[in-house]
Structure formats: structure tokens, C-alpha cells
Amino acid sequence: TVVKGEILDLAVDLRTSRPGDLISSPYELTISESMYDFWSCSFHSQNRISTSRPFARRLGLQDKVLPFSLVLFLTSSMTHADAAKVQVGFGQSIYHWPAFAGDTFTKSFRVESIRNTSDGNHSIFHILCSLKNQRGRVCMTSDKRMIFEFPVPESSVVSTPTPDPSHQLFRDHLLGKSHILHDELGSQSLAPLFAGQLIYHTMNRSITLSQSQQLASLARLTHPRHFDTRR
């Protein structure tokens, strides 16, 4: 008996996608404390709401929240879009509901608009990424634009998002605790801060190839550029 193997292509063929199409990922991912620790080791942060459990609970949260950057990474990671050439930008990334270690996440992607590049050889997809926890709460949404190495039929249609009454619940909750922040917890900054101030974060750390591959595995990324060093 001869057993012949085959390679399964689990990627979605976006050549047939049109604005308004919804792509729901079947994968579920539970974020453990060790995953949170690994992210914290790779990306420095002094945000107390993500580093201090007592601080977060004083603000009425059940635990310290996952950093914005980690939640955005999980929201935008597309396991099934291997044909993408590059991501060209993000926009309107909103942390709707706090995410915690121990939560299990699923995600979906809605095609908002499609257009071809001026040379006619590539296409640009505008995609709305959405991350939900195990209770069905949308924790984050983010607009993402990706370039694919194939043209698609032009479309002038733009998907119109449905208004969400819980659009900024997390922000509104924190604003509602402003008196606690101001009167009880206070600022721990060693330098004076004022409204409208733009602060540059000068600390930069290089990410090693091993860290990059581990982060890709954490988010179940399968694009060859994450493990093929020749690409």
C-alpha cells in the first residue's frame, strides 16, 4: 500500500471576496499568564493598569488588563491569510472591553472595501478585525489594510458598520473612575505632566528571530515570512 501525502491549504482565497463578506476564524486561543509574561518580557511597559493587580482592582477591574499592544496583536493576526504580501497600516483601533489573562478569544474579519493598485498587479483590502472573549464581548476592533499579489474586480462599495452601543465602554469606565485616579491613587510620574503633552518613549529593544517566531506561534500565524528566513 502506498500512502501519498498532501499539503492542505487552510488559507481563505480572497480573490472571490467582496465588501461586506464576513470571515469567522474557527480557532480559539486562551491567553495564559505565561503568554502575558512573555509579551511583557518582549515589550517594555510601565502602564500600571497592565502591571499592577491592586491598581487595576482599585479601578473596579477584576485583574490587571492585557496591554493594548498585545490585544491589538491578537485582534489583527490572521492565521488564514497566507497570500498577503504586506500589511500597510492600521487605524481606528479601539479597546472596547477589558481583556484578561485566562480569557479565551475568537476573532472575525469583515471586508470593508477593495481596490487595485495603480499598476493593476496588486489589490488592497480594507478589513475590520474583531476580537471577542468567551462571553461574546467584543474586546477590540481595528481597521487593517493589506496588499495581496493579485488583482480583483474593482468595487466602489464600502461596507457600513452597524452602530455599537458598547463602543467605548472600557474608556467610559476608566473616565468614571477619574476621581479615584486623581484623589486616591495619584500620579507616580517623576516629572510634571500636563494636558496636551506629547510624550516620546525612547526605550527601544530589538526582537530576536527566536522571539519573533515564538510570538508568531503564540498568535497562530502561519505566513511563511514568520519562519522562512530567506523570504
Contact 223, 81 (CB under 8 A): yes
Residue 132 has pLDDT above 90, yes or no: yes
Q: How confident is the model at residue 185 (pLDDT cuts 50, 70, 90)?
A: confident
Q: Is residue 202's pLDDT more than 80?
A: no
What percent of the chain is helix, strand and coil (3-state, nearest 5)?
25, 20, 50
Whole-model pTM: value is 0.82
- What is the rounded average pLDDT of the residues 133-138? 93
Using CA atoms, how far apart are residues 51 and 48, in angstroms rounded to an integer?
5
How many Cβ atoms sit within 10 Å of the Cβ of residue 158?
Answer: 11
Cβ of 107: how many Cβ atoms within 10 Å?
Answer: 23
Closest by Cα among 228, 215, 229, 227 to 77: 215
> How confident is the model at residue 210, as a pLDDT?
82
**b/e code 112-137 from CB counts within 10 Å (16+ = b):** bbbebeeeeebbbbbbbbbbbbeeee
* pLDDT above 70 coverage of the chain, percent: 86
178-182 mean pLDDT: 82
Strand pairing category for 123-132 and 84-95:
unpaired
